[in-house]
């Protein structure tokens, strides 16, 4: 049945989304159901275009989405951004199913309709990342309550998402290879989310995990993190945010970077992760061969 107006549709979808608030398992189940329906699964994967999201969601369920009354509690920022993301995707799918006029919806929900109607890697990233950015924009006050290392990590998660999107968009280094590596149906994201140095297993982070995030750990996993963040992503940061703000129809994304450094939530100076000697050499070589 077609909702009479946007406020009615939004209320119906939000009422459903609220039922998921205190259950990370229910949130994950809702996303699996979403992609079973819209992900274009095939014999090689379970959730099609949702494979990357489900892999990351598994980490969120384990690490940060515990409700406030849990012991220990989870992160209010992660929980609310995640729930808002679910809401926007469910709003888009409900509108698609009921024939609600697309142009009346918030832009991230419109992007979900575009993906559902004609799935592709590019459309998935636009829907997914526009919704995540919308959550970042909606909850900066909660982000401000996080510790400095947690804020650094929040910024890392965002620019890694944007960089993955840039690969599918054919930007920056090795565009043809990038489209393969950035494919949300591929195994690259699943591999990365399984590395402790990329995604800590505890909230708040342990001291060892803080050391990982701040580049103070010397291991092969840690080196791979630094290679991605410092050698591949960092030289492109300002251009990356500028381009991603256009891809995702989120011009306010540009406020998340200042003087070529991620600065969410309020443009503050965050701790600068340490760079090992090997990474500095690799940065130098990258600049020699590809320019900064």
Q: Which pLDDT does position 139 carry in this prediction?
A: 98
Q: Which residue has the higher pLDDT, 215 or 126?
A: 126
Instruction: Show the tokens assigned to 265.
Output: 């939530």
- Model confidence band, residue 289 (pLDDT cutoffs 50, 70, 90): confident
Work out the average pLDDT over 276-287.
85
Work out the average pLDDT over 154-178.
85
- Model confidence band, residue 183 (pLDDT cutoffs 50, 70, 90): confident
- Model confidence band, residue 175 (pLDDT cutoffs 50, 70, 90): low
Instruction: Show the tokens assigned to 58.
Output: 């598994």
Helices (H), 118-235: 121-138, 140-144, 148-168, 175-181, 188-193, 207-213, 220-226
Q: Give, as one character, the DSSP assignment of residue 206.
A: P
Question: Mean pLDDT highest for which of 131-135, 271-275, 279-283?
Answer: 131-135
Q: What is the rounded distance in angstroms from the CA atom of residue 113 to the CA atom of residue 127?
A: 8
Q: What is the rounded distance in angstroms from the CA atom of residue 223 to the CA atom of residue 102?
A: 45
> Given a cut of 80, is residue 138 above it in pLDDT?
yes
Q: How far is CA 286 from the centre of its chain?
A: 26
4-8, 23-27, 152-156, 175-179: the lowest-pLDDT one: 175-179
- Please check whether residue 240 is in contact with residue 163, taking contact to mean a CB–CB distance below 8 angstroms: yes
Backbone angles phi, psi at 273, to 5 degrees: -55, 145
Q: Which pLDDT does position 136 carry in this prediction?
A: 98
Q: Which pLDDT does position 106 carry in this prediction?
A: 98
> How far lies 268's CA from each of 129, 144, 152, in Å?
23, 10, 11
Q: Which pLDDT does position 291 carry in this prediction?
A: 72
Query: pLDDT tens digits for 18-58?
Result: 999 999 999 999 999 999 999 987 656 689 999 889 989 98
39-43, 72-76, 112-116, 168-172: the lowest-pLDDT one: 39-43
Nearest to 90 by CA among 41, 38, 150: 38
- Please check whether residue 149 is in contact with residue 213, taking contact to mean a CB–CB distance below 8 angstroms: yes
Question: Mean pLDDT highest for which of 26-30, 59-63, 70-74, 185-189?
Answer: 26-30
> Given a cut of 60, is residue 70 above it in pLDDT?
yes
> Percentage of residues in the chain with pLDDT exceeding 70?
91
Backbone angles phi, psi at 153, to 5 degrees: -65, -40
Q: Which residue has the higher pLDDT, 220 or 113?
A: 113
> Given a cut of 90, is residue 265 above it in pLDDT?
yes
For the entire predicted model, the pTM comes to 0.93
Q: What is the rounded distance in angstroms from the CA atom of residue 243 to the CA atom of residue 228?
A: 19
Q: What is the rounded distance in angstroms from the CA atom of residue 47 to the CA atom of residue 69?
A: 31
> Given a cut of 60, is residue 194 above it in pLDDT?
no
């Amino acid at each position: 049945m077609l909702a009479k107006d946007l406020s009615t549709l939004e209320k119906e979808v939000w009422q459903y989304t609220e039922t998921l608030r205190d259950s990370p398992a229910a949130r994950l189940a809702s996303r699996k159901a979403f992609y079973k329906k819209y992900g274009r699964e095939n014999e090689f994967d379970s959730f099609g275009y949702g494979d990357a999201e489900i892999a990351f969601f598994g980490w969120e369920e384990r690490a940060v989405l515990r409700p406030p009354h849990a012991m220990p509690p989870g992160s209010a920022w992660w929980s609310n951004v995640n729930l808002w993301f679910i809401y926007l995707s469910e709003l888009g799918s409900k509108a698609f199913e009921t024939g609600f006029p697309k142009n009346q919806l918030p832009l991230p929900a419109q992007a979900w309709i575009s993906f559902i109607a004609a799935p592709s890697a590019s459309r998935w990233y636009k829907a997914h990342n526009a919704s995540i950015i919308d959550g970042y924009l909606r909850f900066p006050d909660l982000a401000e309550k996080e510790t400095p290392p947690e804020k650094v990590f929040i910024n890392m998660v965002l620019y890694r998402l944007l960089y993955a999107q840039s690969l599918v968009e054919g930007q920056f280094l090795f565009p043809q290879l990038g489209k393969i590596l950035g494919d949300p149906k591929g195994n690259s994201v699943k591999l990365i989310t399984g590395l402790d140095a990329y995604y800590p297993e505890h909230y708040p982070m342990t001291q060892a995990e803080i050391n990982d995030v701040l580049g103070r750990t010397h291991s092969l996993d840690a080196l791979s993190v630094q290679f991605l963040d410092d050698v591949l992503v960092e030289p492109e940061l300002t251009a990356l945010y500028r381009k991603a703000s256009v891809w995702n129809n989120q011009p306010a994304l540009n406020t998340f970077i200042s003087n070529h450094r991620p600065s969410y939530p309020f443009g503050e100076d965050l701790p600068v992760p340490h760079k090992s000697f090997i990474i500095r050499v690799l940065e130098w070589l990258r600049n020699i061969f590809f320019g900064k």
